[in-house]
């Protein structure tokens, strides 16, 4: 169920799609988290590459876990 907050969050220029990116800048050791083209967080750290790899691993794990759960539901029904 969508709430008023969800409706404000959705960018109407993006037709039925939302996306996020995590950008690693090796030169400045900065990670930038962007959602639907809006910068949400910027982190400057001396270990940006390892943090980026950790975030990528978490996103991949969660995505695969959701995918497997969806497959399991589909098979059971």
Q: Among all chains, which residue has been given the structure tokens 């950790």?
A: 54
pTM of the complete model beyond 0.75: no
- Determine the Cα–Cα distance for residues 42 and 61; give it in Å rounded to an integer: 23
For 62-72, the pLDDT digits (tens) are 888 888 877 66
DSSP state, 3? -
pLDDT above 70 for 3: no
For 6-58, the pLDDT digits (tens) are 556 665 565 677 888 899 999 999 999 998 889 999 999 999 999 999 988 99
| Domain at 15-76: CATH architecture | Single Sheet (2.20)
Q: Give residue 9's pLDDT.
A: 62
Classify the phi-psi angles of 37: left when phi > 0, otherwise alpha if psi is within -120 to 50, otherwise beta: left
- Determine the Cα–Cα distance for residues 75 and 61; give it in Å rounded to an integer: 21
């Amino acid at each position: 169920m969508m709430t008023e907050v969800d409706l404000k969050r959705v960018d109407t220029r993006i037709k039925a799609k939302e996306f996020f990116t995590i950008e690693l800048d090796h030169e400045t050791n900065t990670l930038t988290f962007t959602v639907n083209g809006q910068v949400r967080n910027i982190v400057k750290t001396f270990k940006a590459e390892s943090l980026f790899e950790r975030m990528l691993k978490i996103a991949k794990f969660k995505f695969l876990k959701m995918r497997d759960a969806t497959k399991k539901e589909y098979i059971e029904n």
